[in-house]
Amino acid sequence: MSKKHKNSLSSSATEDITFITDASLAGLAKWLRLLGYDTAVFPKEAGRAMMRQADSEGRIVLTRRRDMTERQFSGTLFLITDVIVSVQLKAVIENFSLKIDRARMFGICMECNQKLHPVKKEEVRDLVPPYVFENCEKYNQCPGCKKIYWMGTHPRNALRFMEKHIPNHLP
Ligand SMILES: [Zn+2]
């Protein structure tokens, strides 16, 4: 995590956007979470129950089901046409003009969509590999699944993936 993390609460319109995807778009959901966007994954196929959740939580619906666009829905629904995650991600970023801010990346658990909390280094001693403990000073933890996150190979690979697939959108 970078020192800029403190600035991540600055508000702007796109930062308040939240999403819900159907189960088939769980891969896309992980990437949106990684970018700091609160993204729920509906555990079943898209349908009325998913629309209800989107409505009550004010989430934008992302779905691959074309017939969903014909349903009555007062919120925003975006049809994902591609099967490749990087293309899906690019489409969402462009359609909603999402701002990619390195300070807000890696702030949400990729597994359960909960906001990570900083934890003290000494608290993770037995929870991370020894070489990580030696080399990393800052850690975050998911309050849901208790997973520990640190700046390591995963964020580096993620940034590399984005530099390759969505270079024009990186800050
Ligand atoms: Zn979690």
Residue 154 scores a pLDDT above 80: no
How many structural domains is the chain composed of? 1
Ligand 1 centroid–CA 150 distance in Å is 13
Q: Determine, yes or no, domain membership for 52.
A: yes
Residue 5 scores a pLDDT above 90: no
Q: How far apart are CA 29 and CA 18, in angstroms?
A: 11
Q: According to the model, what pLDDT value does residue 1 have? A: 37
Q: According to the model, what pLDDT value does residue 97 have? A: 92
Which pLDDT band, with edges at 50, 70 and 90, does 13 fall under? Answer: low
Residue 132 scores a pLDDT above 80: yes
Ligand 1 centroid–CA 71 distance in Å is 32
CATH number at residue 38: 3.40.50
Ligand 1 centroid–CA 147 distance in Å is 6
Q: Determine, yes or no, domain membership for 152.
A: no
Domain holding 16, by residue range, is: 3-106
Residue 152 scores a pLDDT above 80: no
Q: Determine, yes or no, domain membership for 53.
A: yes
Strand, coil or helix: 47: coil
Ligand 1 centroid–CA 69 distance in Å is 31
Ligand 1 centroid–CA 72 distance in Å is 33
Q: What is the mean pLDDT of residues 12-32?
A: 88
Q: How far apart are CA 45 and CA 122, in angstroms?
A: 43
Q: According to the model, what pLDDT value does residue 28 have? A: 97
- pLDDT top residue among 25 and 104: 25
Ligand 1 centroid–CA 116 distance in Å is 8
Tell me the pLDDT of the chain averaged across its residues.
87
Q: Determine, yes or no, domain membership for 163.
A: no
Q: Determine, yes or no, domain membership for 15.
A: yes
Q: Determine, yes or no, domain membership for 127.
A: no
Angle between helices 85-95 and 153-165 (to 10 degrees): 70
Q: Determine, yes or no, domain membership for 39.
A: yes
Q: What is the mean pLDDT of residues 73-98?
A: 95
Residue 45 scores a pLDDT above 60: yes
Q: Determine, yes or no, domain membership for 113.
A: no
Give the H or E element holding residue 134: helix 130-135
Instruction: Please count the helices (runs of H) and the strands (runs of E) in the chain.
Output: 5, 7
Stretch among 31-35, 92-96, 104-108, 121-125 having the lowest mean pLDDT? 104-108
